[in-house]
Structure 1
């Protein structure tokens, strides 16, 4: 017995039973650990016979590694990073008469090989090595762990997002030999920005500059991204660019090919198909290509020697992953930049509040053009207020004021005209003509619609309402609150019968249109690119974007408007934009001045006063009435946490599209927001994760959903 044990014997209150337990635990700790035992007489690997595995089971109370024995026949193939199959579940580690009992086969990743294990019983053996291809590197594992901790999620859920499904055919094909670093590209249109050339030079020298880039309107942003990637590759490092959708990815893909040539980058999008995408992903992991452009899932791309991460248009909702734990591409790339010490570029024609915070904190530098450059590149923006719209006879007849009609006529003389409508369809929303009260269904209170001018029906339950009368004033007459894209296209087609009218929306999105005169009616985010730019643009029903009950309504409206207006020719070329919205509102004035950065800075200042994100970290907790309060009471929240709510959650429309986080159909749910000051976000995520894990381990409890940093807090 060591002297430490003698001291332990002299403590008061410890009887012989406690001392015996202490001696036994010390003996076990000092004794050499036995090699793991398996069954059926299978021989184990002679060296490192224990495999530490993360199983593909994304429940929080199982968010840990599990040890398995490595049979001798799998010794060579069972390398760290490979996919494996293991027995998991009740009885997976129980042995009787030399045979295992219970457990089902499940996929997993082998994290490391070890000489011993902390598990005291006999270990189940690896069932199989699915593929000898190591797909989970230590760097990717560390990133996935950091993302899971930040978003109060499980490692297995993040790995499902990070590692694409396997394709045996793709693994069987060798990747091409890596090409030598390309020469440093010319600055090109980066010279339009005050520190554009310096940013590229820092990347080419192997530096790690961090910038928030407010791109000038026009078609050059894809080429500018490609030149930043080229400068990074010239330094012998890799680069990663994440864009919101496949159309943007295709533009950057073409620009990278033009700047770098073939074979130096990979395109990772869902449109490529599972096999081709996995083949491209393997080429990146094997080091055959050093540059990647892709959509949201590409944020985890295993680029070697990462020198630059870039995200374009971070305010687009497509950057927010809908699957657990619902990370945002911007935050994942921020984690990668901090962990790998690489360059960071956040770009867009607009500017989010998060981008403004990065600049205000000094973590990133602004990359903007002088004001004279902005005025030359941006179109002329004119406004039409609600008062003028109400007085205008043309507006009452066809929703378009005289100023808009004149802009369309002038624009069609030299090229296509873009018309942005906030909603698709024919007449999505209706209201009483006399008192403007929304027209709602008598059965479920859903919104009434008149699709394609057919009979009135409910948009939620589908019941017809042929004898509708307003419950407020009794009037039987209706008017359109927001007219959809198809109805707008029909009106414009009647007004300009000799001009072709094209529509672009969720059902059919156009990538591009010719530079000939035409009317292009589009919903926000589906605007096609016009050859040579649009001659003019109309931004209709601006109040519909600004009236959304959302903290980001003004920011999102401005982003949508600027994205559309950026497709219009510059003021020097006669480009004109007419926005139908109240001129005195802040987002409208920011559009007129083309000052998204100033708008974001003012929004950030107001958020700081109110304690709203991104100045604070916030979590949303939703569930059945009573379950949310019970969950928060059991969670060990940080002392400075503030709970807002809970409040009822509006039910999802029956039969309508469902979003992540929507309550189950027909169930009353409520939601609470938990807010903490800066620096406490990690503690909040850890507390909520532990509380959720404990709740799930008990089983049978009412479900509670937790989301860190929700994009929509109402």
Structure 2
């Protein structure tokens, strides 16, 4: 496949008679293009051509396996149009590399299998839940945004949806953020549908095993397909339901061009196939709520009475004035007495306590104790951190160099302070506060799946919280300012999502479950947590974004490149302008600004080149027109080769 934008089109080749039987639409082939052999797919067979010149011959058929189905091809076209990308880039995400030995293996579909009936009693807690399962069994295109209850076994509920769909004669595709979620959902789906018809796809399998499972999906041997973001393109036959769990997780956004989000691809696929679709989570994103407001999906939520019965009690730092009188230093303490008391109460009841901290490590960020200037590496300007209490010096998190003698570059002081406390340092603090109590840490590469044995303290970073049998007795959400204070437009939404995920692991209030968030109660995000109102939070977030003109109320393109290249791309696209194209006429250009800290530079640029970012905003109904204009302009500039390439991202997760 040709990766340059101006060659993103079909090319005609002649097929020899001996190749004709194998050279069918969807197979991999090799063709000679501009003097070299390149990989390609056969899109269709025709007896005539529009090409005026002499046609070349197909070099060879790599494999007779039809890996590019008509459905996936149509989806790839839609994704490329939606994200101003090229079809070869999308197809690289959709179709894994070939393994010839695996293709020679035979795959047999299960002759007969039994699917357990879904647990309708559990779905009665949700308004319209049983009716939704009935719609899935009947093969209707029911679409919902599902708000999972605290303490809910989300994997079991998705398995219920899968069982209902399979019992109705159709198949299921479920997309989750990471391998731990894949494993949890796989076990639940196998219990209801059987191991012979459930397939899990993820990058951690390795290329050979993943291709083997992908082929079983292609050949019709799978009825329930589970995977991470790239699995959204899996060639599932007769798809009846597509599910996306926890769509606010950043891992569902593809870091490679054209940077699609699995949620958007899944909804595009559901729209094309007229099948059922569900977006679920303990929290709710503004994008998911926009689908409900538009009428494309409906709410699948529990009543407030059921929610109060299932939710733990949530206490903020300054909820109780009496508590402030008892502990005047609580507002500035990292471990105020209310948090310590909740932990002791749970431990005395022989229940584990979950402590969520924003960052892993010991002290992941340092600053000058006198002037608060952030400590940075002398060689690469990366952030300095302490790896443990006895570290010989501060270590750079970027280049790994150790600085044994820190000195502030602004005031010259050699005194340092911690900006953020990591999970390992927090474990030390709780170990001293609760002597004799087991302490478990879960973060980064050392994630603990479940905690068994005697009650103890579990120190975990967001997303790494282990499950506890029966639920935790209490959860302490520390350093909320580190999450809420991030320079990110999605900071509040993401913070609430992480808090709700941790709080959902705690026992109900009627069983003594308590969540203590060490942050001021007056903050709106904290109030949404106290009321356990993710739907209200998503509605408020959507309104706020509409007020300031941010997605999903509008469509926005981020253009990263040199100033000259970005200007040339905008000029070629006719933005801004007064032409007949509505997207061009209504487009609003913002910038240029410096490339945000942490954003990757566009590939292929001179390291010394200065990179800027421009934003282009249009009304929501003009999103496809904007993407088309930028896509066409990128192809023209690619052919001219007069400017450096520009990275185009449509509705990126982070703007700065």
TM over 0.5: yes
Aligned twin of 1:672: 614
Q: Match of 1:87? A: 32
1:279-678 equivalences in 2 (<5 Å): 279-384=212-317, 399-413=334-348, 414-440=350-376, 446-453=382-389, 454=391, 455-456=393-394, 458-460=396-398, 462=401, 464=403, 466=405, 468-469=407-408, 471=410, 475-514=413-452, 516-637=454-575, 638-650=584-596, 652=598, 667-678=609-620
- Aligned counterpart for 1:707 among listed residues 645, 649, 655: 649
Distance verdict in 2 for CA 1:417–1:288, change over 3 Å:
same
Deviation for aligned residue 1:122: 2.4
- Between 1:476-485 and 1:200-209, the stretch displaced more is 476-485
- Residue 288 of structure 1 deviates from its aligned partner by 2.1
2:318, 2:331 within 8 Å by CA — same for their partners in 1? no
Residue 75 (structure 2) pairs with residue 146 (structure 1):
no
Cα 1:69–1:544 shift into 2, 3 Å: same
Pair 1:164-2:106 in alignment: no
Structure 2 partner of 1:70: 15
Task: Identify the range of structure 1 (109-118 vs 696-705) with the bigger mean alpha-carbon deviation.
Answer: 696-705
Looking at structure 1, the residues matched to 453 and 141 of structure 2 have their Cα atoms a distance apart, in angstroms, of 40
Q: Is the 8 A contact 1:215 1:368 kept in 2?
A: yes
- Whole-Å separation in 2 of the counterparts to 1:645 and 1:391: 48
**Distance across 2 between alignment mates of 1:417 and 1:172:** 52
Cα 1:305/1:620, change in 2 over 3 Å: same
When structure 1 is superposed on structure 2, of 337-346 and 215-224 the one drifting more is: 215-224
Shift of 1:211: 0.6
Gaps of at least 5 residues in structure 1 are 1-55, 90-102
Q: Deviations over 1:590-626 (max 9, x none)?
A: 0111001101101111111211100000110011233
Tell whether 2:24 aligns with 1:57: no
For residues 255 and 485 of structure 1, what CA distance do their matches in structure 2 show?
A: 31
Q: Is the 8 A contact 1:505 1:526 kept in 2?
A: yes
Select between 630-639 and 482-491 the one with higher mean Cα deviation.
630-639
2 CA distance for matches of 1:458 and 1:505?
19
1:133 to 65, 68, 81: 65
Q: Give the alignment's Cα RMSD to 1 decimal.
A: 2.5
Q: Secondary structure at the match of 1:617?
A: strand
Q: Taking structure 1 as reference, are residues 164 and 456 closer, same or farther at Cα in structure 2, changes over 3 Å only?
A: closer
Residue of structure 2 in register with 1:23 after alignment: none
Q: CA deviation at 1:528?
A: 1.5
Deviations 1:666-711 (A, max 9, x none): 5431101111001100110011111111111112522211111111
Provide structure 2 residue ranges, at least 5 long, that are not aligned to the other structure: 576-583
- The alignment partner of 1:513 has SS state of coil
Q: What is the rounded CA distance, in whole Å, between the counterparts of 2:569 and 2:162 in structure 1?
A: 46
Report SS of the residue matched to 1:207: coil
More relative contact order, 1 or 2 (CA 8 Å, 6+ apart): 2
Q: Is the CA contact (8 Å cut-off) linking 2:115 and 2:192 kept in structure 1?
A: no
Q: Does the residue aligned with 2:242 lie in a helix, a strand or coil?
A: strand
Shifted more, 543-552 versus 254-263: the winner is 254-263
Say which one has the larger Rg.
1
Q: Number of residues paired by the alignment? A: 640
1: distance between equivalents of 2:326 and 2:629? 53
- CA distance in structure 1 between the partners assigned to 2:256 and 2:267 by the alignment: 20
Q: Tell whether the 8 Å contact from 2:127 to 2:301 is kept in structure 1 after alignment.
A: yes
Give matches, 1:247-266, under 5 Å: 247-266=180-199
- Three-state SS of the structure 1 residue aligned to 2:615 is strand
Post-superposition offset of 1:444: 6.1
User: Using the alignment, how far apart are the partners of 1:225 and 1:259 within structure 2?
Assistant: 11
Change (3 A) 1:609 1:522: same
Which residue is equivalent to 1:107? 39
Matches of 1:279 and 1:458 in 2, distance apart? 41
Give the Cα separation in 2 of the matches to 1:402 and 1:565. Answer: 20
Aligned to 1:372, what secondary structure does the other structure show?
helix
Q: Supply the distance in 2 between the matched residues of 1:170 and 1:569 (Cα, whole angstroms).
A: 47
What is the alpha-carbon distance in structure 1 between the residues aligned to residue 66 and residue 373 of structure 2?
61
Confirm or deny: 8 A CA contact 2:604 2:645 kept in the other structure: no
Give 1:42's aligned residue: none
The correspondence for 1:276, drawn from 198, 206, 209, is 209
Closer/same/farther in 2, CA of residues 426 and 475 from structure 1, 3 Å limit: same
**Alignment correspondent of 2:578:** none
Residue aligned with 2:556, SS: strand
Deviation larger for 385-394 or 570-579? 385-394
Structure 1 position 221, deviation (Å)? 1.2
In structure 2, do the counterparts of structure 1 residues 249 and 480 end up closer, same or farther at CA, with 3 Å as the change threshold?
same
Task: Flag the 1:659–1:249 CA change in 2: closer, same or farther, 3 A.
Answer: farther
Normalised to the residue count of structure 2, the TM-score between the two structures is: 0.92
TM-score under structure 1 length normalisation: 0.85
Partners of 2:116 and 2:385 lie apart in 1 by 59
Q: Residues of 2 paired with 1:430 and 1:525: CA distance?
A: 24
1:123 partnered with 2:55: yes
SS at match of 1:530: coil
1:435 is displaced (CA, Å) by 4.6
The 3 A distance-change label for structure 1 pair 517 and 645 is same
Where 1:311 maps in the other structure, the secondary structure is strand
Q: Deviations over 1:499-552 (max 9, x none)?
A: 222211112122222153121111111111122211211111101111111111
Give matches, 1:181-260, under 5 Å: 182=115, 184-260=117-193
